[in-house]
Structure 1
Amino acid sequence: MSTADPTRTTALTYRTAVDTDVPALVALVESAYRGDASRVGWTTEADYLGGQRTDERGVREVIATPDSTLLVVERDGDLVACCHLEHRGDHAYFGMFAVRPGLQGGGLGKQIMAEAERRVREQWDAKEMRMTVVSVREELIAYYERRGYRRTGELSPFPYGDERFGIPRRAGLAFELLVKQL
């Protein structure tokens, strides 16, 4: 990654991830959610979860999944964000959303989400976008609500004991389903 000014407003480019992107994507996702580096941005999960958010095997599985796209977002060739889109019948799933921590809070995420929603409508004729968010992440859930997503109250258990999803630092974690009509 270059050391160019991260506040510049050059247009974003979007492409599908390939295998050679995997190490950089893992680093991006980890930096946005875990450890001290994640505290630069506002999406950190470091207070709730330790350990890893993803690994190379997990990212490769996402890339290889049929009806799935791991979208790489670049600015002047620099990786600035990513998100996973998966076609699931009449809806699409949105996940693995990460924006470089130093670039969070400036509208980049909003722009990327709008592009992701446009793509799933046009490519898959998806009528709804769904995502799951750790239920204690009130600030993050509020962000998605401002983007038109609604809380369903539908919870699924956090996979305690499966360190591929992180090491919980508190009890009572669950995933809440959020949905948006497209």
Structure 2
Amino acid sequence: MDDLSLDTRKGLPEHLRVLADLYPREIWTGHPNFGGLTAFWLERHLNFRQVLDTLIDGSERHLDRHDPRYGHEMQRYTSFFLNQLHHHHMIEDQHYFPQFLPLDSRLEQAFELLDRDHHALDGHIHGLAEASNAVLKRLAAGEDEKVAADLLLRHQRDFKVFLNRHLEDEEEIIVPVILEYGADTE
């Protein structure tokens, strides 16, 4: 599984695409087993992507031309993003994934991959929080935060790469399971 690390993989390997190839994204929303819970779950993923884009845009704007609202907005959005992402992963790990795993034994390694992703993302969540706090401390002290803000922007951009890889792969595992087995419950 080391070659399937969130840091290095480019997508789901063929042996984990047993249902993804049967249910390509284009047919998801029209499938009879695509329900409200699945739509809500995908909306949450879209929301994470949008908030992260907002954070990146804010950091870029601040570095281009000092934005006096930057610290407040960055703190609010980062706090929301990290708390919601952590909570989302806890619900997946404790409720949804255990419900879906027994439905298809061929996907056992896929669920192991998602679990490893969540552990890897925890490290990235802490790194993003630390970089954000470094900028906030400098702003609060009236110190030059340009170097810290530039480092934060790099953390945000790297986080986007990891998060997008994880979300795309997770969607290509979970949604096809739901479509195949009608598991859009509770």
- What TM-score comes out, normalization by structure 2 length? 0.26
Q: Which one has a larger percent helix, Structure 1 or Structure 2?
A: 2
Q: Rg larger in 1 or in 2? A: 2
- What TM-score comes out, normalization by structure 1 length? 0.26
Q: Which one has a larger percent strand, Structure 1 or Structure 2?
A: 1
